[in-house]
Amino acid sequence: MNLNPVFEASYQLEEIDELASNLFTRFSQYRIWLLEGNLGAGKTTLIQHLAPFLGIEIEINSPTFSLINEYPSVDKGKIYHLDLYRLKSLEELSEIGMFEIEESGYFCLIEWASAVGYIPASSYLEINLEHIESTHRRISVRIHEN
């Protein structure tokens, strides 16, 4: 596990496409990305801007109420997007099929993994987003090798 960030940046929202491209280029070998940050920090927004690089050609919506959104990918089969904010326990992860999703090998973008203490069994990225001002954000990326 790398406790020190391997990537840190401050950015304006108009720079998010460039940020998404940079993240995908640098870290696409990791199939599980955990996105953390307060409400409004930009987790879903970042995922929306990652979509073209993931081969997703349809609109990305927050899975806050559905918990899991599955998107077809032109070249990666499918992409999973989860929001664990409303879950209360690790047992609920099993009920929604989280462990099968993790083992599928497909790209898996997970918001609020910390809400239930979820830690993937395989290597993953931890992306922390911080809201600085209305259009200004900070990002920090850590790699966890398992």
Q: Which domains does the chain have, with CATH numbers?
A: 7-144 (3.40.50.300)
Please name the amino acid found at residue 70: E
**pLDDT value for 4:** 81
**Alpha-helix residue ranges (DSSP H) falling in 12-87:** 16-27, 43-50
**pLDDT value for 86:** 94
* Better pLDDT: 130 or 146: 130
pLDDT digits (tens, 9 = 90+) for 59-86: 999 998 999 999 999 999 999 999 999 9
∠ CA 66-77-8 to the nearest 5 degrees?
Answer: 75
Query: Confidence band (pLDDT; 50, 70, 90) for 146?
Result: confident
Burial (Cβ within 10 Å: 0-12, 13-18, ≥19) of residue 31: buried
Does residue 112 surpass a pLDDT of 80? yes
pLDDT digits (tens, 9 = 90+) for 23-39: 999 999 999 999 999 99
**pLDDT value for 2:** 52
Instruction: Compute the distance between CA of residue 79 and CA of residue 108 in angstroms, rounded to an integer.
Output: 6
How many CA atoms within 13 Å lie on the side-chain side of 102?
A: 17
**pLDDT value for 106:** 97
pTM: 0.94
